Amino acid sequence: MTKSRNTAYLQYRSFGLVLQALVIMARKGNTCSSCEIAELLSMEATQLRRILAKLTREHILVTREGRDGGYMLNKNPEDLTLAEIYQALEVGESCNKAVNDTICFNDFGVQMKAACGDILEEMDRSVLGVLEQYTVADMVRKAGY
């Protein structure tokens, strides 16, 4: 199944929204409701919950139900890298895979896969390498929040 260009945009948008939500949670230091976070991000709480569910499944967040319920970081912000978040959201569907999905199966396609493979793998490593250098705590400091 080939993804549309719009899907990639939505994945990166989710990454941006999650970074903001995690900064809010890290700054608060305890449970934040989805409504509270969504209001600060000017978005729908339902949409936010769908995105945060991925981080809960990956044990980056924990949830608490009830009157004082919400989301909370399951890891110290100093130890939670942006690469972990990127991978948990599956934003990082590799560039290599995305480009390979566009290449045909004929002789020309085989040649193109061989020509592009190393470059695309390097791009994937580069993105993760940059994101591994930063943590949620770094984002809190940079945001001055």
pLDDT at residue number 1: 46
CA distance 39 to 7: 24
- What residue ranges do the domains of the chain occupy? 5-92+135-143
Least trusted range by pLDDT, from 3-12, 33-42, 77-86, 109-118:
3-12
Residue 43 has pLDDT above 80, yes or no: yes
* Of 63, 67, 72, 64, nearest in space to 21 by CA: 72
Inter-residue contact 77 to 134 (CB < 8 Å): no
The enclosing H or E element of 98 equals helix 95-100
Inter-residue contact 18 to 85 (CB < 8 Å): yes
CATH classification (class only), 5-92+135-143: mainly alpha
Measured between its terminal Cα atoms, the distance across the chain in Å is 41
pTM attached to this predicted model? 0.79
Q: What's the one-letter identity of residue 23?
A: V
pLDDT in tens, 93-145: 566 676 777 888 899 988 888 888 888 888 888 989 999 999 999 999 999 86
pLDDT at residue number 62: 96
Q: How many CB atoms lie within 10 A of CB 116?
A: 16
CA distance 43 to 35: 9
Mean local confidence (pLDDT), 38-48: 95
